[in-house]
Chain A
Amino acid sequence: MARYLAQRVGQALLVVWLAYTLVFLAVQLLPSDPVTIFLTVDSAVDQAAIDTMKSQYGYDQPLAVQYLHQLAGLFSGDFGYSLASGQSVRDRISGVAGSTVALAGSAFIIAVVIAVLLVAAATLTRRNAVRRVLVNLPPLFSAIPVFWLGLVLLELLSIRWGVMSLFPDGSFLSLAVPVLVLAIIVSAPVAQVLLKGMNHVYEQPFIDVLRAKGASRSWIFFRHALKNAAGPALTITGITVGTLFAGSVITETVFARSGLGSVVLQAVTTQDVPLVQGLVLLTATVFVVVNLIVDLLYPLLDPRILKSNGQGAPRALAA
């Protein structure tokens, strides 16, 4: 177990470092430096002003110096300064992260609930017609664009019927609607993989044994089948972090919410490179940490993984 743990944590750190280095190099490949890019968005600027700001932010230093300086900063929690607001990147991000965590966290939980309920209903129903409708819902969910669903709901609920505000006002609906919009898109892949896994599990002989012993359909589903089908679904759940984050950017814009999504949008449109770098690092870290947690949960579901010498956790989907 210790070896498996060390290996997974080491890999996670390597991925974060590589992600940071790649972003640093990508920025260097741009035809000019972050300050020039920031200052020249939509306006004509004096070269002297660019030069002064460049030296203030250290962008006139040699590449290696900049890289080592930035990397050293990361270890002391210094992520540099946002060019747009002058705030430190850490303050800018932490100021709004709570709002996104609330949105994405709730959406994630609701998404898992939706996925499990949908799969349970599809598996347990005795009516074929109902089952056919239910199994076709996940592909439909993944086909609905997040912004479209958000716009339609706002148009109806807020502008036509006036039951919710266009702006986040702390009311139940102003959190519930964006959470639902985001949860629907995230639930789709989880439900799809869970359904597939479930089909596989129900073909296994032990289900027949359980049936023969007289176990009820729901007992079999929740006590036995779900745990066996959960592996691949857990993997895909880790990967949905990306969907969740991308969905947050759109949801926050449509619902005029503050949060990482709106900061990403602003950072990119104003070409605030240090802020973009900080956000990429954060996203990479979250992604890696969530997948690390998934990897560490795996042996609890399937102890055989540890025996396979820490290699090849069954990341391949059951499909």
Chain B
Amino acid sequence: MTSRPASSPAPARRSLRVVAMMGLTALALTACSSTSTPQAAQDTGAGGPVEGGTLVYAEVTPINNWQTQAARFYEKSNVLNSVLDRLTYFDAEQGELVPWIASEFSANAAATEFTFTIRPGVTFSDGSPLDAEAVKLNLDALGLGIESAQIQPNVDFAGYSSAEVVGENQVKVTLPSPNANFLRATSSVTAGLVSPATLKLDAAGQSAISQISGSGPFTFESEKPDEEVVLAKRADYAWAPETAENQGDAYLDRVVIKYLPEVAHRAGAVQSGQVDLVRGLQPLDEEALTASGNQVLPAEGIDLTVNMAAVRIGSGKLADENVRRALQIGIDRQSIKDTVLSDSYELAGSVLNHQAPGFVDLSDELEYQPDEARALLDEAGWDVGADGIREKDGVKLEVTVTSSNNSVVIKPAFELIEQQWREIGVKLDNRAGDNTFLATAMPDPDVEFFGTRQFIYGGLGPIFEPADNTMTHTSDEDLNVIFAAERAAAPGPERNELLAQEQRALVVDKAYSLVLWDEVQVYGAHSDTHVEFTSGTAPVFQGAWKTGG
């Protein structure tokens, strides 16, 4: 442990801020007490944020590659979120992008030119300025990759060609073809800004959190590889996203990130007070945690698709749209929620989460209709065989699902679907949670289902469009026309109509995505912990605090 930095802010300023915060919080509490999570009202003293203290946060697995654009896993992005700032921030409450390091941003009508005005006075933790030049270097590294360091381009920046510094403090990005999703991509943790010195390091250097210099509210303090990372707050931090409640430096002095691979201990770790916040709570543990006076905090994954079984038609068994539709309505989603999920999980209404911009509610089309499903399968020529499994031309309707073990609920969910599909004469081989199988099944179009959820900073197109996409391994001409139009359309009613067409096609008409539940990461928190989350489910430690410090 290094010594704490000398307390630079004048005490007067601080106490003033605390008073102001208390007032604001009291207002907020009276104004929207009905919308706050029922478990959150643990603080008895009705006090505002408390300065100081160390928050212990337990992640699921250790990470040793902190390279920015590889931060597509929660384990990384949840930590890097506090170390790296981005040009823009997606405010979930308003449902729109708000200024962050870019105090202003705009796109031309064709969605090919994007201009960012860089906020003055921002510095990286190594002391260098976060100016237009630094932003250009970062955008180039994200869009083009860094060949000398063997770093690949960021997948959300597809089609990027160049950025140039214009005017005094502006950066202009020009894309060869329209991409209205580009701005949203700049809000992702995988587009976090690092200092020019960090960009010059080799791959191993850029992967080491000790060497990453960002402009975020916390900086690296110490590390025990595979066991813990300690972050200390930046006392001079003053450039939070425009809508953040806390506009100054973090309340907490320190965040300690530990790893708790064992799922059985997550609730107990919080209950015994050994950690203040833990990710990956099992639905089973939620009730016990709430009953013990602690909190269950579901963080909605608005930046991701819902959890789904993406359909591959390579084996031919699901080539007929009617068969896919039958399987879509052959899933009893409510029973999945009642059996393996909890109240923290909302059933999917589309391939987008309920709060995502452009969401269209298709839940009427997703009702459980086993009879209708059977009729569709009959119509498609799949007849029930002697063992109850349908067959056609001597082929049995046996299908396989693959998925990683990253979600605590995906395997039991598919176990239930296996039973439900059995009712309509379909046999599901459940390989969910088997990572070894996943490696071979992922590139195999013959494995019918891929259980997953994906970040959609580039929209749905990049996931479903390419011919070699791992979701469907199918490039659908009709869909691609809509994806292309959506990418080119500026935000507004016209684009929303295109988004609606995409969702309807993916979920209903073509049924390439058997949607299950909205992506949510369920956190367990001690009764003293106060924390909110980004639209990508990362905890916002800049605004977090602990009752009693």
Contact assessment for A96 and B439 in the assembled complex, using a CB-CB cutoff below 8 Å: no
Contact assessment for A166 and B225 in the assembled complex, using a CB-CB cutoff below 8 Å: no
Contact assessment for A42 and B225 in the assembled complex, using a CB-CB cutoff below 8 Å: no
B540 to chain A, nearest CB (A): 24
Q: Does B150 contact A (CB under 8 A)?
A: yes
- Tell me the complex Cα distance, A42–B70, Å: 13
Stretch at the interface among A181-189, A210-218, A262-270: A262-270
Known: A85-B65, A87-B207, A256-B259. A166 touches B471 (CB 8 A): no
Please provide the chain A residues from 226 to 276 with a CB less than 8 Å away from any CB of chain B in the complex. Answer: 253-254, 256-259, 262-263, 265-266, 268-269, 271
A7 to chain B, nearest CB (A): 38
Q: Does B430 contact A (CB under 8 A)?
A: no
Contact assessment for B227 and A40 in the assembled complex, using a CB-CB cutoff below 8 Å: no
A306 to chain B, nearest CB (A): 45
Contact pick for A46, options B155, B224, B258, B435, CB 8 Å: B155
* Residues 95-107 of chain A, each 1 if its beta carbon lies under 8 Å from chain B, else 0: 1100000000000
Stretch at the interface among A117-125, A138-146, A151-159, A193-201: A151-159
Contact assessment for A268 and B436 in the assembled complex, using a CB-CB cutoff below 8 Å: yes
Contact assessment for A165 and B274 in the assembled complex, using a CB-CB cutoff below 8 Å: yes
Please provide the chain B residues from 442 to 467 with a CB less than 8 Å away from any CB of chain A in the complex. Answer: 442-444, 452, 454, 462-463, 466
- Tell me the complex Cα distance, A226–B265, Å: 43
Known: A86-B207, A159-B268, A159-B272. A95 touches B225 (CB 8 A): yes
A195 to chain B, nearest CB (A): 34
Known: A85-B204, A167-B227. A266 touches B62 (CB 8 A): yes
Q: Does A282 contact B (CB under 8 A)?
A: no
Known: A45-B470, A46-B158, A158-B274. A87 touches B462 (CB 8 A): no
- Tell me the complex Cα distance, A44–B442, Å: 9
Q: Does B228 contact A (CB under 8 A)?
A: yes
- Tell me the complex Cα distance, A52–B259, Å: 33
Contact assessment for A262 and B226 in the assembled complex, using a CB-CB cutoff below 8 Å: yes
B544 to chain A, nearest CB (A): 20
Q: Which residues on A sit within 8 Å (CB–CB) of B405?
A: 269
B411 to chain A, nearest CB (A): 14
- Tell me the complex Cα distance, A87–B440, Å: 25
Q: Does A128 contact B (CB under 8 A)?
A: no
Q: Does B539 contact A (CB under 8 A)?
A: no
* Residues 75-94 of chain A, each 1 if its beta carbon lies under 8 Å from chain B, else 0: 00000000011111000100
Contact assessment for A151 and B150 in the assembled complex, using a CB-CB cutoff below 8 Å: no
Q: Which residues on B sit within 8 Å (CB–CB) of A168?
A: 227
Q: Does B203 contact A (CB under 8 A)?
A: yes
Stretch at the interface among A30-38, A290-298, A311-319: A30-38
Residue of B nearest to A38 (CB): B439
- Tell me the complex Cα distance, A52–B443, Å: 18
Known: A31-B443, A86-B67, A258-B227. A253 touches B261 (CB 8 A): yes
- Tell me the complex Cα distance, A271–B405, Å: 13
With an 8 Å Cβ cutoff, the count of chain B residues facing the other chain is 56
- Tell me the complex Cα distance, A47–B152, Å: 11
Centre residue among A165, A166, A257 by max chain B CB count within 10 A: A166
Known: A56-B150, A159-B271, A167-B227. A37 touches B158 (CB 8 A): no
Contact assessment for B454 and A43 in the assembled complex, using a CB-CB cutoff below 8 Å: yes
Q: Does B404 contact A (CB under 8 A)?
A: yes
Contact pick for B466, options A46, A87, A265, CB 8 Å: A46
Q: Which residues on B sit within 8 Å (CB–CB) of A173?
A: none
Q: Does B153 contact A (CB under 8 A)?
A: yes
Please provide the chain B residues from 237 to 269 with a CB less than 8 Å away from any CB of chain A in the complex. Answer: 258-262, 264-265, 268-269
- Tell me the complex Cα distance, A146–B200, Å: 45
Q: Which residues on B sit within 8 Å (CB–CB) of A46?
A: 153, 155, 158, 466
Contact assessment for B65 and A40 in the assembled complex, using a CB-CB cutoff below 8 Å: no
Q: Which residues on A sit within 8 Å (CB–CB) of B438?
A: 41-42
Q: Does B119 contact A (CB under 8 A)?
A: no
Q: Which residues on B sit within 8 Å (CB–CB) of A53?
A: 150, 152
Q: Which 9 A-B pairs have the closest CB atoms?
A: A258-B226, A86-B203, A159-B268, A85-B64, A42-B404, A85-B65, A86-B204, A40-B442, A49-B152
13 further interface pairs, Cβ-Cβ under 8 Å (given A41-B438, A52-B152): A30-B440, A31-B443, A44-B463, A84-B65, A86-B150, A87-B64, A88-B204, A166-B260, A166-B269, A167-B227, A167-B258, A257-B227, A258-B226
Chain A residues within 8 Å of B, Cβ to Cβ: 30-32, 36-37, 40-47, 49, 52-53, 56, 84-88, 92, 95-96, 151, 154-155, 158-159, 162, 165-168, 253-254, 256-259, 262-263, 265-266, 268-269, 271
Chain B residues within 8 Å of A, Cβ to Cβ: 61-62, 64-65, 67, 72-73, 145, 150, 152-153, 155, 158, 202-204, 206-207, 224-228, 258-262, 264-265, 268-269, 271-272, 274-275, 404-406, 435-436, 438-440, 442-444, 452, 454, 462-463, 466, 468-471
